[in-house]
Amino acid sequence: MTKKITKDTTLENILELAGADAVLAKYKVPCLTCPMAQYEMQSLTIGDVCKMYGLELAKLLVELNKLAK
């Protein structure tokens, strides 16, 4: 059984998916290279990141959930 990725899923959990880093990079998620984010990965959600940086959450979730299947 796969787990659905939602706006409340943490970056730590998302990055456990094979290929997730490439999808996040495609959407220019800055947290992947931010040194401070490395300490916050377990509490930082994809919804929070998209809100902070004005990224398209809905499209990003569609792509991430394709990986989760």
pLDDT in tens, the chain (69 residues): 357 999 999 998 998 999 999 999 999 888 677 777 777 778 889 999 999 999 999 999 999 999 988
Indicate whether 55 belongs to any domain.
yes
| C-beta separation of 67 from 19 below 8 A | yes
10 forms bridges with which residues in the sheet? 45
- 45 in Cβ contact with 5 (< 8 Å): no
Residue 32 is assigned to a structural domain of this protein: yes
Residue 6 located in a structural domain = no
pTM equals: 0.85
Helix and strand totals (H; E) in the chain: 5, 0
Residue 1's pLDDT is: 39
Domain count of the fold of the chain? 1
Domain assignment present for 59: yes
Q: Please calculate the CA angle 34-36-37 and round it to the nearest 5 degrees.
A: 65
User: Tell me, what's the pLDDT at 64?
Assistant: 96
Write out the residue range of the structural domain in which residue 32 sits: 11-68
List beta partners, residue 45. Answer: 10
